[in-house]
Amino acid sequence: MNIAIFDSGIGGITFLKEAYKALPGENFIYYADTDNVPYGTKSRDEVKKFVFQAVDFMSGLDTKILVIACNSATSAAINDLRKNFRFPILGMEPAVKPAVENSKDKRILVLATTLTINEEKLNNLITNIDKNNIVDRIAMDRLVMFAENFIFSGNEIEKYIAKALSILNTGRYGTIVLGCTHFIYYKEIIRKLIPGNIQIIDGNTGTLNNMINIMKKDNLINRQNGRIDFYSSGRMDKLKRINKLMNLLQS
Ligand code: DGL
């Protein structure tokens, strides 16, 4: 049986890389909804429809557990997905909790898509956790399509990020939370553009630990042949560029 990982595009590869390293004997399915990316600038209902199409497809592929490695899709659809499918489904949400717990008096900045920022899920999370009002949030939607077009460095990206940050007093932040899996490719550029010794965190490791705990509890861990199959919006895809992506990510 397969561990299924889903994202609107290549953002979830950042999770796949960590998961494959931790569980090299498992079989994985990676599904990128390349026909409909980006999600972050679309409406909740539209995204929910796309996510259901994808998860319906994956449910026919011997899926034993599913990770929605996309904060935007999680915001829009996770509750309804859990009501409709039998296998365990993990979502991904901005790692605000560990950021607040370790904030050491500095402010926290969440970077995510417009959809994630506007959705109730993140707003409820922040209301529950951010008792001292130290969490700010901004959208950086264009990074998603930069990544989809395999633009990972260069002037255009630096200018875009610097402009988005220019409305903030970046010296006040101690932690940046990457609340979109696509943004992980830009971690080092973001670090370079913010003064001081900033901590940058994402939700991958927390989600992976949760996934492994569920798999142990439900007896879902097993050694198979350690393969990864890629699908682009329901079509089998060799994703030849996948190795480039895997190498781009620090192990
Ligand atoms: N990787 C998705 C996320 O984590 C990207 C959203 C998009 O497709 O705009 O939010």
Cβ proximity of 63 and 71 under 8 Å: no
Q: Report whether residue 13 contacts ligand 1, using a CB cutoff of 6 Å.
A: no
DSSP label at residue 85: -
Residue 250 has pLDDT above 70, yes or no: no
Q: Which residue has the higher pLDDT, 142 or 240?
A: 142
Q: Which domains does the chain carry?
A: 2-92+204-250 (3.40.50.1860), 96-202 (3.40.50.1860)
**What separation in Å is there between the alpha carbon of 209 and the centre of ligand 1?**
21
Look at residue 67 and give its three-state secondary structure.
strand
Q: Model confidence at 243, in pLDDT bands (50, 70, 90)?
A: low
Mean pLDDT in residue range 122-145: 96
pLDDT tens readout for residues 190-206: 999 998 899 999 999 99
Of all protein residues, whose CA lies closest to atom 2 belonging to ligand 1?
A: 70
Mean pLDDT in residue range 84-108: 94
What atom in ligand 1 is closest to the CA of residue 11?
1
At 225 the pLDDT is 84
Q: Across all residues in the chain, what is the average pLDDT?
A: 94
pTM of full prediction above 0.85: yes
- CA torsion, ordered 165, 167, 171, 174, to nearest 10 deg: -60
pLDDT tens readout for residues 218-227: 999 988 888 8
Q: Report whether residue 137 contacts ligand 1, using a CB cutoff of 6 Å.
A: no
**What separation in Å is there between the alpha carbon of 219 and the centre of ligand 1?**
30
Mutating to test ligand 1, I would choose from 70, 119, 137, 148 the residue with most ligand atoms within 8 A of its C-beta, which is 70
**What separation in Å is there between the alpha carbon of 223 and the centre of ligand 1?**
31
Please state, for a pLDDT cut of 70, what percent of the chain lies above it.
96
Q: Where are the alpha helices (DSSP H) in 130-220?
A: 142-148, 155-165, 187-193, 204-217
What atom in ligand 1 is closest to the CA of residue 141?
9
Look at residue 138 and give its three-state secondary structure.
strand
Tell me the catalytic residues. 70, 180
Cβ proximity of 47 and 73 under 8 Å: yes
**What separation in Å is there between the alpha carbon of 168 and the centre of ligand 1?**
23
Q: Report whether residue 74 contacts ligand 1, using a CB cutoff of 6 Å.
A: no
CA neighbours closer than 13 Å in the CB half-sphere of residue 59: 14
In the beta sheet, which residues pair with residue 135?
108
Residue 251 has pLDDT above 60, yes or no: no
Mean pLDDT in residue range 65-70: 98
